[in-house]
């Protein structure tokens, strides 16, 4: 029973989970300071077909061929490192695909991500990441016959490698600026109906040029060096005090 519960929880957490928003399509991009990136796509197969025009089975009773999905995402510039087992939600099959790329600026040349134009560059003392998401593969105004009502959510999420200085992320419901979660994660969300109709998504993040890890290591190194210096001074002071006491005793 415990194993079954853990399995259900794991599947539920993919693509939104039991305890958060449930997403029909997500691009979760983890950016490195050198411009390399890992992209994790969590999506229903109907969303992959409708939004990206990929040749995947949309019938919930059809067998999901993970090798076929790997082939659709594999390109000379982007390597597929994992295709998950499918899971089902709301009568639709979902899958997760993990892709790595050496230069995020080239990601838009890969067909599954070609609806976006990616940019990552240094401007002065900061790094700037941008992503402009264009039209979907589906004709405007059509939701398809996949059990959608249009209110499902599409998300473009980015994990940045350094402290955020400025961003354009806004809350989907209130249209107010959002705060980064866990310090360096931002999300741009859109209702599925708007994404199908091709309403643009414009991502912009300005960040410090040094990674959080690099800053943390320097901080740790500084603290360690200070601790060593204090220890050396204490040893020196103790030894010096002992010698002074020996000199006093000898003079007496």
Q: Which residues contact 97 (CB under 8 A, 6 or more apart)?
A: 40, 41, 69, 70, 73, 80, 82, 83, 84
Q: Which residues contact 94 (CB under 8 A, 6 or more apart)?
A: 14, 15, 42, 43, 44, 45, 86, 87, 88
Q: Please give the helix or strand (H or E) that residue 237 lies within, else none.
A: helix 212-251
38-84 pLDDT, tens digit per residue, is 999 999 999 999 999 999 999 999 999 999 999 999 999 999 999 99
User: What is the widest separation between alpha-carbon atoms in the chain?
Assistant: 103
**d(C-alpha 14, C-alpha 114), whole Å:** 24
The residue that leads in pLDDT, 206 or 250, is 206
Residue pair 221/228 in contact by the 8 Å Cβ criterion: no
Closest residue by Cα to residue 15 from 143, 147, 152, 135: 152
- Give residue 22's pLDDT: 85
158-213 pLDDT, tens digit per residue, is 999 999 999 999 999 999 999 898 779 999 999 999 999 999 999 999 999 985 44
Q: What percent of the chain has pLDDT over 70?
A: 73
Neighbours of 34 (CB within 10 A): 12
**d(C-alpha 93, C-alpha 58), whole Å:** 8
84-129 pLDDT, tens digit per residue, is 999 999 999 999 999 999 999 999 999 999 999 999 999 999 999 9
């Amino acid at each position: 029973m415990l194993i079954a519960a853990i399995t259900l929880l794991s599947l539920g957490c993919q693509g939104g989970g039991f305890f958060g928003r449930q997403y029909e399509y997500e691009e979760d991009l983890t950016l490195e300071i050198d411009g390399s990136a890992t992209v994790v796509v969590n999506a229903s197969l109907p969303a992959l077909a409708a939004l990206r025009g990929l040749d995947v089975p949309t019938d919930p009773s059809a067998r999901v061929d993970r090798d076929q999905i790997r082939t659709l995402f594999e390109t000379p510039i982007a390597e597929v490192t994992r295709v998950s087992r499918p899971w089902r939600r709301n009568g639709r099959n979902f899958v997760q695909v993990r892709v790595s790329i050496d230069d995020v600026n080239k990601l838009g040349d890969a067909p599954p991500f070609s609806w976006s134009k990616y940019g990552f560059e240094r401007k002065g003392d900061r790094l700037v990441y941008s992503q402009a998401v264009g039209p979907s593969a589906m004709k405007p105004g059509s939701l398809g016959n996949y059990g959608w009502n249009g209110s499902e959510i599409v998300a473009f999420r980015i994990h940045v490698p350094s402290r955020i200085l400025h961003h354009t992320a806004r809350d989907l419901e209130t249209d107010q600026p959002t705060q980064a979660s866990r310090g360096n994660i931002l999300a741009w969300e859109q209702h599925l109906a708007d994404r199908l109709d091709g309403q643009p998504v414009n991502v912009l993040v300005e960040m410090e040029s040094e990674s959080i890890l690099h800053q943390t290591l320097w901080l740790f190194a500084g603290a360690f060096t200070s601790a060593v210096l204090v220890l050396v001074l204490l040893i020196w002071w103790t030894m010096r005090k002992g010698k002074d006491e020996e000199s006093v005793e000898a003079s007496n």
